[in-house]
Amino acid sequence: MDIIVIEDLWKVYKNGVEALRGISLTVKEGEVFSFLGPNGAGKTTTIKILSCILKPTRGKVTVAGYNVPTDCKKIREIVSVVPQEFQGFSDLTVKENIGYFAKLYGVKDVEDVIEGLELKEHLDKKFRELSGGLKRRVAIACGIIGNPKVVYLDEPTVGLDPKSRRNIWEIVRSLRGKGITVFLATHYLDEAEKLSDRVAVIYRGKIVKLATPSEIVSEFRKETLEEAYLELMRQLEGEGE
């Protein structure tokens, strides 16, 4: 089943900038779907439209059968966004941060989330005292506490050390294991290759590739998704000259 459907989606800002220029894609329920592309390509704009932060200029967008923007109240109940810049409440403890979001969603039992993200020994630490990796785990905990159907992760491992990155990878895999759809925007191609069922590459507001990581690697006759992506970018930038 397709839980996200985008058809001919455009987003044109008031200054005339065309952030999205007719993109179309589907995301299957329970898959990890990675969104790749250079800065300014339209990744964050797409996530903001899917999560009802921005309104589309035109096109059709549905999430779990609900339309954007007319059904946004229902959509917000079933999706969660974990932004790259999530800061939490710096002077509150981990427990208090998670408790705040649990109260927002009307959730009483948070033990499974705390256990799953290995946060039990850190509950009494203030958010500002945490390492980058722990802050990211708390961000994800706050994002999934309401048991969403779709989680949007925007650059979830940027700036993290290798061990912390791999901890986040395991969390993403565990979300998929629970049937949660993960929409991942990342610049790390090894991350996308290891985690994704499928990837879409967006360039200057248009989808230029949509396939499994192995299909893209095979198409460009490369060893890794990163090498294939760089070759695709080289070809696209050459066409634009």
Q: Do residues 49 and 118 both lie within one domain?
A: no
Token pair 């696209």 is found at 236
CB half-sphere exposure, 36, CA atoms < 13 A = 30
**Helix (H) or strand (E) segment spanning residue 10:** strand 2-12
* pLDDT tens string 164-189: 888 889 989 999 999 999 999 999 99
Q: Do residues 115 and 157 both lie within one domain?
A: no
Global model pTM greater than 0.85: yes
CA 152 – CA 4 distance, rounded (Å): 12
Structural contact between residues 175 and 183, judged by C-beta atoms closer than 8 angstroms: no
Token pair 């256990």 is found at 115
Q: Do residues 171 and 216 both lie within one domain?
A: yes
Domain span at 141:
84-145
Is 67's pLDDT higher than 90? Answer: yes
Q: Do residues 136 and 169 both lie within one domain?
A: no
Q: Do residues 49 and 96 both lie within one domain?
A: no
CB atoms within 10 A of CB 195: 23
* pLDDT tens string 22-54: 999 999 999 999 999 998 899 999 999 999 999
